[in-house]
């Protein structure tokens, strides 16, 4: 272990506390700040592979096992005492937060493309973002629109010239790839997904449960293959039905890949006969960030939403915000 690794891990927990969870989960703000200052727990984290040291994974593993998150002290004591079990869950599972709410930020782009769509999500988790036409939407607390009778309503606050969709996209096919696809009908997978929702976010938990029920009820569920996105994306595009627009999209996924694998993916997707929607944190795709005309906020978590590599908006990481850049592109 090096001092810089120790400091980088502590900093990841500090930033998770002060930037990402501060406005959303006071319990996780306290807990992650405590982890950042605990040499004992940082030591244990540093014995894990780098990808397994993330705050979301540790916190979800403790939650999955029934550990406390009310105070930093209680969290640290419990986690150190039960470390062997926490470690085993962290090694067996991955951060697979599946947030249907992100469909509210993807929808304006999806609806503006030539219809119908062949949706292809890379890093799909349980595939809940593959059902944008099965949800209802409420932008800026106005009236809702979307799928009649849906148990899921996605709220999203906006700024800027959002090209609000007049209609839902028409979906001809739903496909995806994930290293470890989760099954919406499997109780243990649903429990893991619930553990990934931050404490105090009852609305997100309700939304997750409702979106899982939508996926379970779907007559033709999304086909999600197990594999690495770089190995599979071309064959998924090739399998899109004739007459549909293949749309490769991803949110909160490429951050888990090393830079070379991200670069290989973006080079490949630009050459494929498809449209490409990316919704990732700043820094994940430097070539997209280089085209931003304004700096990303640093005081809160945001993603950069882009179409075919061209930035369109900053989005809230769970779909809660959509800040469109002026002027928006003519799509088609």
Minimum CB distance to ligand SAM smaller for 34 or for 212: 212
The strand pairing partners of 155, in sequence order, are 138
Q: Is 24 helix (H, G, I), strand (E, B) or coil?
A: coil
Q: CB 325 → ligand SAM: shortest distance, Å?
A: 21
Q: CB 15 → ligand SAM: shortest distance, Å?
A: 17
Q: Where are the alpha helices (DSSP H) in 113-201?
A: 187-195
Q: CB 92 → ligand SAM: shortest distance, Å?
A: 13
Q: CB 154 → ligand SAM: shortest distance, Å?
A: 12
Residue nearest to ligand SAM (CB): 123
Minimum CB distance to ligand SAM smaller for 76 or for 100: 100
Q: CB 193 → ligand SAM: shortest distance, Å?
A: 9
Minimum CB distance to ligand SAM smaller for 72 or for 181: 181
For residue 75, give Cα distances in angstroms to 6, 79, 83, 177, 247: 20, 6, 11, 34, 42
Q: CB 99 → ligand SAM: shortest distance, Å?
A: 4
Tokens encoding 20: 């990402």
CA 306 from chain center: how many Å? 15
Nearest to 314 by CA among 306, 323, 110, 301: 323
Minimum CB distance to ligand SAM smaller for 99 or for 133: 99
Q: How far apart, in whole angstroms, are the C-alpha atoms of residue 139 and residue 51?
A: 35
Tokens encoding 132: 């944008």
Q: How far apart, in whole angstroms, are the C-alpha atoms of residue 59 and residue 78?
A: 12
Minimum CB distance to ligand SAM smaller for 70 or for 238: 238
User: Which 8-state DSSP code applies to residue 254?
Assistant: G
Question: CA-based angle 128:243:146, to the nearest 5?
Answer: 40
Minimum CB distance to ligand SAM smaller for 20 or for 250: 250
What residues contact residue 93 under an 8 Å CB cut-off, 6+ apart? 57, 60, 61, 64, 192
Q: CB 281 → ligand SAM: shortest distance, Å?
A: 11
Residues forming contacts to ligand SAM in the complex (CB under 6 A) are 94-99, 102, 122-125, 129, 177-180, 228-229, 250-253, 256-257
Minimum CB distance to ligand SAM smaller for 229 or for 284: 229
Q: Taking each helix axis as running N to C, give the angle between helix 55-64 and helix 72-81, from 0 to 180 degrees, rounded to the nearest 10.
A: 80
For residue 292, give Cα distances in angstroms to 47, 285, 304: 37, 11, 9
Minimum CB distance to ligand SAM smaller for 71 or for 180: 180
Strands (E), 152-242: 153-159, 171-178, 223-226
Q: CB 175 → ligand SAM: shortest distance, Å?
A: 13
């Amino acid at each position: 272990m090096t001092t810089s690794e120790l400091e980088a891990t502590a900093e990841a927990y500090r930033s998770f506390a002060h930037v990402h969870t501060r406005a959303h989960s006071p319990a996780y703000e306290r807990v992650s700040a405590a982890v950042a200052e605990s040499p004992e727990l940082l030591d244990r984290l540093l014995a894990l592979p780098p990808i397994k040291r993330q705050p979301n994974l540790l916190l979800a593993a403790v939650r999955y096992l029934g550990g406390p998150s009310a105070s930093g002290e209680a969290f640290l004591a419990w986690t150190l005492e039960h470390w062997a079990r926490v470690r085993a869950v962290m090694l067996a599972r991955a951060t697979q937060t599946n947030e249907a709410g992100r469909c509210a930020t993807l929808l304006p782009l999806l609806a503006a493309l030539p219809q119908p769509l062949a949706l292809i999500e890379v890093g799909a988790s349980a595939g809940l973002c593959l059902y944008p036409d099965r949800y209802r939407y409420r932008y800026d607390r106005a009236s809702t629109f979307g799928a009649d009778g849906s148990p899921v309503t996605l709220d999203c606050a906006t700024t800027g010239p959002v090209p609000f969709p007049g209609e839902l996209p028409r979906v001809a096919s739903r496909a995806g790839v994930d290293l470890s696809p989760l099954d919406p009908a499997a109780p243990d997978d649903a429990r893991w997904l619930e553990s990934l929702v931050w404490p105090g976010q009852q609305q997100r938990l309700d939304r997750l449960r409702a979106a899982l029920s939508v996926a379970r009820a779907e007559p033709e569920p999304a086909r999600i293959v197990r594999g690495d996105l770089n190995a599979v994306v071309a064959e998924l595009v090739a399998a899109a039905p004739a007459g549909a627009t293949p749309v490769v999209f991803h949110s909160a996924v490429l951050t888990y890949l090393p830079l070379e694998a991200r670069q290989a993916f973006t080079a490949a997707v630009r050459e494929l006969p498809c449209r490409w929607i990316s919704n990732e944190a700043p820094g994940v795709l430097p070539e997209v960030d280089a085209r931003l005309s304004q700096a990303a906020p640093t005081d809160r978590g945001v993603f950069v939403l882009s179409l075919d590599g061209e930035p369109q908006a900053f989005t809230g990481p769970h779909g809660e915000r959509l800040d469109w850049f002026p002027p928006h592109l003519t799509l088609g």
